[in-house]
Amino acid sequence: LSLFTQKLEGRGRVCGVQFRPGGFRPFAPLRPVSDWTGQRVPVADVLPGADPETIRGILGPGTPGTPRTKGTSKAEEASEAAAEDARVAALDAFLLGLEPEADPQSLRAMRLVDLVRTDRTILRVAELAAAEGVSVRSLQRLFASYVGVGPKWVILRYRIHEALERAELAGGLDWAELAAELGYSDQAHLVRDFTATVGVPPTAYARPAP
């Protein structure tokens, strides 16, 4: 997985939903989440009942996208805000209407991802597996089914987040030393992952603005 860009054209509404890592599988339990990783597919192919007519009903009628001007009244702004709240409520109702069943494995996956995020000493899959008391292979199967990527990918992604924080807080970082701290075999691997995630190499990201 890497950065991508989606250009939106024309006029209309865009509605997005962000699930916690591990939290989507109960809404589409028939296939592992890894089947959707890196894919762009119609929502109706993933969620039952999410046909175009239903989605249009959630987004609501009208011709949105008109930029606000100084002449926009507070009443108009309040009306649009209320309409937005109604769309969010309609989307919530649609998702809950799918009646996702409680899934202990989904909760387990969410907990493990959160552990990787908060425990910065976890640098390898074997360490996460040991902390959970399972085999590496069992952990890999759980992540493929519920997160969509492997535990190694998740660990590296959060360590990249840590590198970002360090780059923002400190100037003149020793990237070779940081790579070792974050569990990378060498600086080149950190640079490659950092660039794929952020879009620029570490030195360019850390360079002060002119």
Q: Is residue 4 part of a domain?
A: no
Rama region for 29: left / alpha / beta (φ>0; ψ in -120 to 50; rest)? alpha
84 and 41 assigned to the same domain: yes
How many structural domains does the chain have?
2
Alpha carbons within 13 A on the beta-carbon side of 140:
7
126 and 188 assigned to the same domain: yes
Q: Is residue 153 part of a domain?
A: yes
pLDDT tens-place string over residues 24-81? 999 999 999 999 998 888 888 888 778 878 877 777 654 444 445 555 577 777 777 7
87 and 41 assigned to the same domain: yes
Which pLDDT belongs to residue 2?
A: 60
Q: Is residue 91 part of a domain?
A: yes
152 and 181 assigned to the same domain: yes
First to last CA, the chain: 31
45 and 92 assigned to the same domain: yes
Q: Which residue has the higher pLDDT, 59 or 200?
A: 200
Alpha carbons within 13 A on the beta-carbon side of 56:
6
Q: Give 192's contacts (C-beta < 8 A, 6+ positions apart).
A: none
Q: Is residue 5 part of a domain?
A: no
Q: Which residue has the higher pLDDT, 173 or 20?
A: 20
Which pLDDT belongs to residue 209?
A: 54
110 and 128 assigned to the same domain: yes
pLDDT tens-place string over residues 79-135? 777 888 888 888 888 899 888 999 999 999 999 999 999 998 999 999 999 999 999
| Cα–Cα dist 97/99, whole Å | 5
Q: Is residue 61 part of a domain?
A: yes
Average pLDDT over residues 142-160: 94
CATH number of the domain enclosing 182: 1.10.10.60
Q: Is residue 190 part of a domain?
A: yes
- Work out the pLDDT band at 155, boundaries 50, 70, 90: very high
84 and 121 assigned to the same domain: no
Question: Which residue, of 82, 97, 112, is where some domain finishes?
Answer: 97
- Work out the pLDDT band at 137, boundaries 50, 70, 90: very high
Judge residue 75's burial from the number of C-beta atoms within 10 Å of its C-beta, 0-12 exposed, 13-18 middle, 19 or more buried. Answer: exposed
pLDDT tens-place string over residues 174-199? 888 888 888 888 899 988 988 888 88
Question: What does the angle CA 70 – CA 75 – CA 76 come to, to the nearest 5 degrees?
Answer: 60
89 and 114 assigned to the same domain: no
202 and 115 assigned to the same domain: yes
* Range(s) of the domain holding residue 47: 25-97
Average pLDDT over residues 14-25: 89
- Work out the pLDDT band at 20, boundaries 50, 70, 90: very high
Q: Give 20's contacts (C-beta < 8 A, 6+ positions apart).
A: 110, 113
Question: Which residue, of 55, 78, 97, is where some domain finishes?
Answer: 97
115 and 80 assigned to the same domain: no
